[in-house]
């Protein structure tokens, strides 16, 4: 099949990756069907050969001279290096090979060179940053002065756009090295050891002599053909055979997409497939937007979003009251897993300290069990973060599609630092998966042709979205004198805007993006869209005009704009006038005042909770309450008065006059 995708004028190519699984394979020469365990074993043998060669090649060239040569993009003769890493390494003469006595084809060596070449290229940025930090080392590493910050940013490329938290983290890394070794590191290659190579097969570096992939006649199915060894140390080319593996394509892969050679990796005893494909999507524009979705970050309210419209006269109006993506329950579970992971790591470090590396120590077995449990908890945290990021990104894209927005403006919080709010709050800020959410947001928005642009976060929560007056933040709307951060009030009497802090922030973000859309640029090799700086002359026009001021009121907008209309309805009676049902045995005949069922046998869930105060006093021995003594509340023990017609009414005793339930009919009133 062809590898070129036909595109229309209004379309753009989009390359994505879908997960898959190799369950079985068939040896083409003999027709032998490989079980999942046998297929996993053969793929792991090939991955071990590639990983070993890549590790040796990376360790040989893990120095500043070789990294600078590779990053320069030119060889010794002044010719430009190829874009593929394995071709660039071969042009420079950096080769590798299998162990003595092992025979592999040239494509296996290509995968090792591609993997190590990508790692060496990625080390260039870290090397330059560490070198700049070392050249401009501050007098107090914990707190740089303004002059030291300026010197540091001038020493690195694009230093004005570099987040400050990245510089601080590298400074702490150097400080830790100096404290342990009593000297400063020379460069990043002394500060960091060579990275460990993953056990993967980058089939994208190969050609048809090593692997091919084709669709089958059945929709959603493909065949991956690749050469795999028959033993862990193949000694000749006869020990390599062609294996055909059926691949079930996920439903997210369109039928018109072009498939590329995947990456194979071993995970939990199975062969995982990272399948890359390219398909056509609507082209996203950098400017010319009239409806935009503004997205603001929060703590418990993870995302707050709403749409804004740019009118022909230059005014910006909000479309609706916005919405919020609340993930308090998921975030609470995330924090519980984080605390559990910290506890297990501390316990394992203590066991490791007591064992002193002795494998025969009695704590060695417990340390192995703790290490396994730490891995399980880390996997749960990763899965939870992945699910949360996908859900948040899908929610934001759905909001944009529903509003008809062609762009999503989101805060650029790379420079946000969690400090000054206490240890717990700072940790909660730093543990949020904002980077994953933005990546997923770009991935899903590209399918709908929606652009995702990051905007500076300066002043988005500090100023009023309607008049740009500095807001007064309060704890709640009904506590206007208590300082807080959740509720914002505009002190301008003519404006009078007030609302949730995050609801005002997304209005500011959407308005700033619409007024600065002509300054949208493409950043980095991934060509992501961003607005790098704020222009004051444009920012003063980034205000939200109320719909009533423009005369455009959306009848579909049901957001509250005034006091609730008073409704005169007949109040419900304090006591029910309907008689209770008859019942002689069991719970029937009891009429609770709340919503509890009358035929309940077990107490409510609330009865099992640990509550300090009982709902009723200690009952008599003749009546033993089931739920109230345990804290279930009052409604389970509210008994209705017996009806008058349930049992015969005895005659009144002499001298009593009236009975509580009836009167003597022979006596006049």
Q: List, as one string, the DSSP characters of 281-312.
A: EEPPPSS--SEEEEEEE-SSEEEEEEEEEE-T
pLDDT greater than 80 at residue 121: yes
Q: Which of 340, 344, 322 is nearest to 332 (CA)?
A: 340
pLDDT greater than 50 at residue 607: no
pLDDT at residue 572 in the model: 53
pLDDT top residue among 578 and 292: 292
Distant-in-sequence contacts of 492-500, Cβ < 8 A, 24+ apart = 492/464, 492/467, 494/467, 495/464, 495/466, 495/467, 495/469, 497/464, 497/465, 497/466, 497/467, 500/304
401-439: per-residue pLDDT in tens? 999 999 999 988 765 555 555 555 555 555 568 888 999
175-201: per-residue pLDDT in tens? 999 999 999 999 999 999 999 899 999
pLDDT greater than 90 at residue 293: yes
Q: Between the ranges 366-370, 526-530, 623-627, where is the mean pLDDT highest?
A: 366-370
pLDDT at residue 335 in the model: 87
Enter the tokens of residue 380. 């749960």
pLDDT greater than 90 at residue 635: no
Neighbouring C-beta atoms of residue 113, cutoff 10 Å: 25
Q: How confident is the model at residue 663 (pLDDT cuts 50, 70, 90)?
A: very low
Q: Residue 112: exposed, middle, or buried by beta-carbon count in 10 A (0-12, 13-18, 19+)?
A: buried
Backbone φ and ψ for 643, nearest 5 degrees, come out as: -70, 160
What's the angle, vertex CA 96, arms to CA 95 and CA 100, rounded to 5?
145
59-109: per-residue pLDDT in tens? 999 999 999 999 998 888 888 999 999 999 999 999 999 998 899 999 999
Enter the tokens of residue 128. 């330059």
Class of domain 284-326+390-550: alpha beta
| CB burial string 202-236: b at 16+ within 10 A, e below | bbbbbeeebbbbebeeeeeebebbbbbbeeeebee
Q: How confident is the model at residue 569 (pLDDT cuts 50, 70, 90)?
A: low
35-49, 280-294, 647-661: the lowest-pLDDT one: 647-661
pLDDT at residue 299 in the model: 72
pLDDT greater than 90 at residue 292: yes
pLDDT greater than 70 at residue 654: no
Average pLDDT, rounded, for the chain: 82
CB 441 within 8 A of CB 452: yes
Q: How confident is the model at residue 3 (pLDDT cuts 50, 70, 90)?
A: low
Q: Which of 322, 305, 275, 326 is nearest to 450 (CA)?
A: 305
pLDDT greater than 90 at residue 130: yes
388-397: per-residue pLDDT in tens? 999 999 999 9
360-389: per-residue pLDDT in tens? 888 888 999 999 999 999 999 999 999 999
Q: How confident is the model at residue 494 (pLDDT cuts 50, 70, 90)?
A: confident
pLDDT greater than 50 at residue 241: yes
Containing H/E element for 604? Answer: none
| Residue ranges matching CATH 3.30.420 in the chain | 284-326+390-550
């Amino acid at each position: 099949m062809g590898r070129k995708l036909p595109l229309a004028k209004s379309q753009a190519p989009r390359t994505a990756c879908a997960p898959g699984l190799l369950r079985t394979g068939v040896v083409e020469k003999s027709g032998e069907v490989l079980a999942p365990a046998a297929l996993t074993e053969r793929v792991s043998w090939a991955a071990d050969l590639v990983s070993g060669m890549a590790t040796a090649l990376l360790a040989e060239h893990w120095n500043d001279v070789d990294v600078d040569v590779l990053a320069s993009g030119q060889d010794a003769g002044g010719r430009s290096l190829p874009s593929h890493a394995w071709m660039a390494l071969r042009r420079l003469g950096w080769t590798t090979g299998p162990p003595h006595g092992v025979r592999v084809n040239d494509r296996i060596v290509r995968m090792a060179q591609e993997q190590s070449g990508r790692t060496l290229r990625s080390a260039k940025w870290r090397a330059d940053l560490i070198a700049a930090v070392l050249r401009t080392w501050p007098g107090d590493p914990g707190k740089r002065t303004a002059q030291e910050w300026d010197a540091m940013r001038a020493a690195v490329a694009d230093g004005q756009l570099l987040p400050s938290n990245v510089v601080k983290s590298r400074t702490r890394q150097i400080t830790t090295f100096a404290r342990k070794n009593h000297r400063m590191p020379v460069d990043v290659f002394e500060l960091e050891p060579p990275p460990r190579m993953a056990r993967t097969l980058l089939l994208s570096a190969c050609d048809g002599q090593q692997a091919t992939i084709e669709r089958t006649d059945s929709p959603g199915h493909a065949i991956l053909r690749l050469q795999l060894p028959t033993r862990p140390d193949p000694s000749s080319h006869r020990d390599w055979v062609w294996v055909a593996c059926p691949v079930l394509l996920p439903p997210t892969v369109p039928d018109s997409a072009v498939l590329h050679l995947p990456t194979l990796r071993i995970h939990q005893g199975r062969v995982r497939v990272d399948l890359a494909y390219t398909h056509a999507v609507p082209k996203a524009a950098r400017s010319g937007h009239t409806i935009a979705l503004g997205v603001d970050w929060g703590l418990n309210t993870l995302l707050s979003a709403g749409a804004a419209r740019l009118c022909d006269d230059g005014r910006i109006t909000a479309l609706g009251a916005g919405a919020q993506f609340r993930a308090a329950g998921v975030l609470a579970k995330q924090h519980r897993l984080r605390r559990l992971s910290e506890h297990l790591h501390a316990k394992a470090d203590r066991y490791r300290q007591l064992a002193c590396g002795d494998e025969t120590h009695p704590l060695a077995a417990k340390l192995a069990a703790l290490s396994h449990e730490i891995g399980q908890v880390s996997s749960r945290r990763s899965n939870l973060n992945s699910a949360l990021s996908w859900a948040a990104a899908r929610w934001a894209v759905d909001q944009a599609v529903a509003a008809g927005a062609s762009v999503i403006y989101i805060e650029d919080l790379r420079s946000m630092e969690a400090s000054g709010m206490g240890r717990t709050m700072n940790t909660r800020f730093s543990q949020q998966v904002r980077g994953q959410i933005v990546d997923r947001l770009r991935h899903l928005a590209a399918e709908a042709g929606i652009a995702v642009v990051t905007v500076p976060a300066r002043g988005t929560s500090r100023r009023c979205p309607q008049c740009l007056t500095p807001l007064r933040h309060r704890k709640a709307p009904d506590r206007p004198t208590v300082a807080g951060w959740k509720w914002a009030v505009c002190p301008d009497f003519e404006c009078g805007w007030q609302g949730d802090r995050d609801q005002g922030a997304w209005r500011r973000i959407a308005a700033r993006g619409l007024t600065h859309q002509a300054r949208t640029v493409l950043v980095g090799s991934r060509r992501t869209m961003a607005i790098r700086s704020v222009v004051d002359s444009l920012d003063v026009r980034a205000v939200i005009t109320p719909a009533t001021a423009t005369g455009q009121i959306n009848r579909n907008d049901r957001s509250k704009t005034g006091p609730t209309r008073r409704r005169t309805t007949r109040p419900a009676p304090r006591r029910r006038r309907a008689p209770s049902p008859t019942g002689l045995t069991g719970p029937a005949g009891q009429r609770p005042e709340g919503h509890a069922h009358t035929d309940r046998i077990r107490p409510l869930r609330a009865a099992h909770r640990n509550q300090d105060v009982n709902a009723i006093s200690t009952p008599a021995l003749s009546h033993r309450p089931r739920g109230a003594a345990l804290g279930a509340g009052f409604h389970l023990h509210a008994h209705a008065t017996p009806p008058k017609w349930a049992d015969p009414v005895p005659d009144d005793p002499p001298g009593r006059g009236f009975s509580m339930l009836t009167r003597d009919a022979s006596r006049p009133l």
